[in-house]
Each structure stands twice: as structure tokens, then as C-alpha cells.
């Protein structure tokens, strides 16, 4: 059995294995460049949207990938074999330009790494918390592991990258067709509402080391 998140994670992994962003993979396959964007993975009502069998066939063909290999990516077997360390990025650096690609994955090399067994997302990475907006749940210096591939739903703890480079660790309180509402765990920090056009990506928090 596989899930919606499993399939999209495998598509992201396939792109990275071929040195591509998901947009570049879509274009190479003859699809619209936005076909695999995060915004296309859920409907306006927050329901999972699955990639078509035609789209999957095209990306496998253009990357010379067998269905068996892709199925292994979906099952997480490939990630389990190849990924024992994940990149660690400071929240301050995460807000700078050039550290992420257009899908929310770390770009470049030379990151400090941390060991994180049991995380299935091959594209997962770690962030070190700065500031006090996530207290008392997360404190400054804690490390959180986030998944750009996982669908964020209401109530999930998330990391959000805004168009101006700001990176927020919050709780997703609500998502509509035009905006998201984010809550802080620290009551001294007010609820924030951001237009979706200002949101570059949202990654779900999977785990924390405290």
C-alpha cells in the first residue's frame, strides 16, 4: 500500500536523482512546468490531487527509469538504503537567498549533517530553531526535521518560506484558496495571515531533537 505523499516524494526524488528541479523534470517530459508544483498536489478544498498515469509514464520515459525502480522509490526502499545523514541548516541561513530550490529542497553542498534514522523522505533536512516563537514546544537550539514532500494539513507543525526570504516555524491553523493562517505556540506572538502568493513553500515538521 502506498500513499499520496509516497508518490509525490518519489517524483521529487526522481527529479533530484537526475539533477533536476521538479519544474525542469516536467519540462523535460513535455509537460507544463508547473505540473508538479506544491500547489498542484492538493485541490483548493485541501484534498489530495494525484499525478496522472500519463504524466508518470512521461517522466519515467524521459529519465530512462523503469517502473520497478520508481516503485521502489514510492515504497521508500531507495531512500532507506541511501540516506542515513540529512543536511542541517540554521534558521537564520534558511532565510537567506540561494539555499533552497523552487520546491523547498536544500540547494548546494557542504552542509553540516545530522543522523536521523527512520525518516523515509529522501529530501528531508534539519533546521536549528532560533528565537522563541515556538516555545514551549521548541526552544532555541532545538533541531527539527522537515519534509518538503509531505502534504501539510490543518493542525500540522510546519516551516514556511515567504517570498521576502523569511522562514517561519508555526502551526498551520487554516488554508484557503488565497491565504494561510499560522499560529505560534508562544502566546506572545500573534497569529499571522499570509497570502498564498507570498508563500514560496510549506514543509511539514516530522520530528524534533530536544
The 10s digit of each residue's pLDDT in 161-205 is 888 878 888 899 999 889 999 998 788 888 999 999 999 888 888
Answer yes or no: do 157 and 203 share one domain: yes
Backbone angles phi, psi at 163, to 5 degrees: -60, -25
Contacts of 80 (CB under 8 A, 6+ apart): 120
Residues 64 and 133 in one domain: no
Of 80, 115, 143, the last residue of a domain is: 80
Q: Count H helices, E strands: the chain?
A: 6, 9
- Cα gap 94→156, rounded to integer Å: 20
pLDDT of the residue at 58: 93
Both 106 and 197 in one domain: the answer is yes
- pLDDT value of residue 116: 65
Rounded to whole angstroms, the Cα distance separating 10 from 197 reads 26
In a shared domain, residues 42 and 14: yes
d(CA 101, CA 113): 19
pLDDT digits (tens, 9 = 90+) for 111-154: 677 766 556 666 788 888 877 767 777 788 888 888 887 788 88
One domain, residues 65 and 99: no
DSSP symbol at 154: T
C-alpha cell at 193: 495571515
Task: Examine the domain organization and report whether 204 and 108 are in the same domain.
Answer: yes
Q: Share the mean pLDDT of the chain.
A: 80
The total number of structural domains in the chain stands at 2
70 and 19 assigned to the same domain? yes
Residues 74 and 121 in one domain: no
pTM above 0.75, yes or no: no
Domain ranges, residue 20: 4-80
| 158 and 101 belong to one structural domain | yes
Residues 6+ apart with CB under 8 A from 48: 4, 41, 42, 151
The verdict on 171 and 191 lying in the same domain is yes
CATH number of the CATH domain containing 73: 1.10.260.40
Amino acid at each position: 500500500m502506498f500513499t499520496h505523499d509516497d508518490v509525490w516524494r518519489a517524483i521529487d526524488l526522481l527529479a533530484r536523482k537526475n539533477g533536476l528541479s521538479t519544474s525542469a523534470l516536467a519540462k523535460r517530459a513535455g509537460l507544463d512546468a508547473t505540473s508538479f508544483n506544491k500547489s498542484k498536489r492538493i485541490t483548493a478544498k485541501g484534498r489530495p490531487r494525484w499525478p496522472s498515469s500519463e504524466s508518470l509514464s512521461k517522466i519515467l520515459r524521459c529519465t530512462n527509469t523503469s517502473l520497478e525502480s520508481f516503485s521502489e522509490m514510492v515504497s521508500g526502499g531507495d531512500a532507506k538504503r541511501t540516506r542515513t545523514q540529512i543536511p542541517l541548516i540554521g534558521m537564520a541561513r534558511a532565510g537567506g537567498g540561494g539555499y533552497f530550490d523552487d520546491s523547498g529542497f536544500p540547494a548546494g553542498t557542504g552542509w553540516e549533517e545530522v543522523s536521523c534514522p527512520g525518516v523515509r523522505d529522501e529530501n528531508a533536512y534539519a533546521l536549528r530553531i532560533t528565537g522563541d516563537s515556538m516555545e514551549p514546544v521548541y526552544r532555541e537550539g532545538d533541531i527539527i526535521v522537515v519534509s518538503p514532500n509531505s502534504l501539510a494539513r490543518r493542525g500540522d507543525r510546519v516551516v514556511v518560506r515567504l517570498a521576502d526570504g523569511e522562514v517561519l516555524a508555526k502551526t498551520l491553523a487554516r488554508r484557503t484558496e488565497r491565504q494561510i493562517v499560522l499560529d505560534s505556540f508562544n502566546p506572545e506572538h500573534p497569529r499571522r495571515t499570509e497570502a498564498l502568493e507570498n508563500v514560496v513553500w510549506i514543509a511539514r515538521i516530522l520530528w524534533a531533537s530536544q
